Structure 1
Amino acid sequence: MGRGTAAGTVCFAVANQKGGVAKTTSSISLGVALSDLGYRVLLVDLDPQACMTFSLGLDPDQLERSVHDVLVGDAEAAEVVSATEDGPDLLPATIDLASAEALLLTRTGREYALRNALEDLLEQQAAAGTPYDFVILDCPPSLGVLTINGLTAAAEVIVPLQCETLSHRGVGQLLETIADVRKMTNRGLQVRGILPTMFDARTTHSRDVLDDVAMRYELPVLEPPIARSIRFAEAPAAGRSILRTARRTRGAQAYADHAKSLAGEREAAS
C-alpha cells in the first residue's frame, strides 16, 4: 500500500518481535496525538492478544467481527471498523486472529491480505471524500504471517525499543525480515527509526543502550525518548490513551511531539 491509494494517506507499522517494549502504547498514543491535531487516523490491531482493542475501551470477547474476518476474506474492512472515544477509528482484534496465521499460510498471496483490504477501504473513502490521513498498524510480538502482512502494507516501520540491557536482542532479526519484505512484497518499505521507550533520564544506562543500538544497526534514534512512567500501565485499565488519562506527563508530551513530526512530514510531502 505504501502511501496508500488515497492521496496523502501514510501507513506506519509499529513492530518489534520482543514483547513488553510499548508497541501498543506507542501505536495508540501516536494515533490519538495525530487525531488531536485534526487528522483522520485508523489504528489496526494485528495482535491476537487484542491489547490495543482492550486499551481503547472495546471488549474483544463481545465483538462479532474483527480484523481476522477481514484477513480471511469474510468481511470488508469498512464493515468492521469501529469508532473509539479517543478519536482514531479502530480495526479491532479478537483471539480468533490466532487462527488467521494458519488459514493464511494455505493461501496464495497471503502476505498481501491486509494491504489489499486497506487499499479497498481507502478507495471507498476517497470516493466519499473522507480518506484516512494516517494508518498505524500494531504488529504482534513475532515475525509470523501477521507481522509480514503489516510490513507489506506499510510505508515505514517504527521500532519501539526498551532502554534496558539486552533489549536490542532480535532487532537484527527484525531488520533481516524487513530486508526480505523489501525484496519480495514491498520494495519501498523504510525503517523510520528506533523509538526509545521506558527511558530513565536519571541514568546513563538508557542512553548507552540507545547509542549501542544506533551504532550496531545504523538506525536513527527518534527523539525525544519516551520517559518511563507508571501512568502508562494505568491507562489501559481505563480503556483510554495516556493522552486522555495523563496528558501532562513527559511521556504523553513526547508522543505528541512525535505526532507533530509525522504530521509535518506528511504536509511537506503532500
Structure 2
Amino acid sequence: MRALLSPAARRFLMLPLGLVLVVMLFPFFVIGRSSIEVTDAAGASVFSTRNWTTLFAHLPVARQLFNSTVITLGSVGVILLISSLAAFALTKLRFRFGGPLLGAVAASMMIPMQSIILTEFINFAAFSLTDNFLSVIITYAALGVPFGTFLMTSFMRDVPDELMEAAQIDGMSYWGIFTRIILPLSAPALLAVAVLQFIQIWDDLLVALIFLQEPAVRTITVGLAVLQSGRVLDIPVLLAGSLLSALPAMLAYLLFQRYLIGGLMLGIGK
C-alpha cells in the first residue's frame, strides 16, 4: 500500500493521523502532569513528588502490582494452553461434531461477563475459593478461551496437513507434532492472543473486585477503586495511581504491537 501512494499523498495522510495521535495521547499528558503538580502555600502550581508519596503511603503498590502480575500472567498462560490445544484438535484431528463445536465456541463469545459473574462467585464460594487467585484465574481463562480458540483455529486451519502427515510417517506423536511443529508456526497468533488478553485482564476491575475482597490479594485496579471510595479523595493522587496502573498494559502494546497486528491480520486472512 505504501508503494501505491505518492510522497505527497503520504504527507497528506500524516496530518489526520497526527491529529488522532494528539487526541489519544493528550489524556495521558494531563494525567502525568497532574500527578506531579501540587499547589503551594501561595496558590501557585509547582512540580513535586508529594502525590506519589501519598499514593505509596496509603496503598501497598508493590504488593498489588505483584498480585496483578501473577493473576494476569497465570490467566494468559491458561488461555494460551487451552486455546492452542483446542484449535489443534479442531483443525488437525478429525472427529464428529467438530464444526458444531467450533460454532458453540464462537457463540460463547457473545455471552456477557456480567450475566455469569454472580453464578461464578456462588460456585467458588461453595468451594471456599473466594479471595483466592485460583478463582480469578479460572474465571478470566473461561472468558478468554473462546476468543483465543477462535483466533487460533483461524490461523491453524491453513497450516499444511502435509507437515503433520510427514511427521506421523517419521513416528512423531500428536503431542510432538503439536509442540514441535504447530506451536512454532503459530507464534504470531499466540502473541496476538497473549497481548490482547494481557491488556484486557490487567485493566479489568469487575471480576477482581467481586472475587478479591481481602486487602492482601487485591489487584492494583481494585486497590485504586477502594482508595477512591475510602480515605483518599485527592484527585492528583488517584491520577498518579491510574498512570501507574496503565503503564504495564501500555508497554505491552507498544512492545508487541507489530506482532499483535501481524497475528490478527494473518488470522483474518486465513
TM-score category (smaller protein): under 0.3
TM-score (norm 1): 0.24
TM-score (norm 2): 0.24
- Greater share of residues in strand: 1
Larger Rg: 2
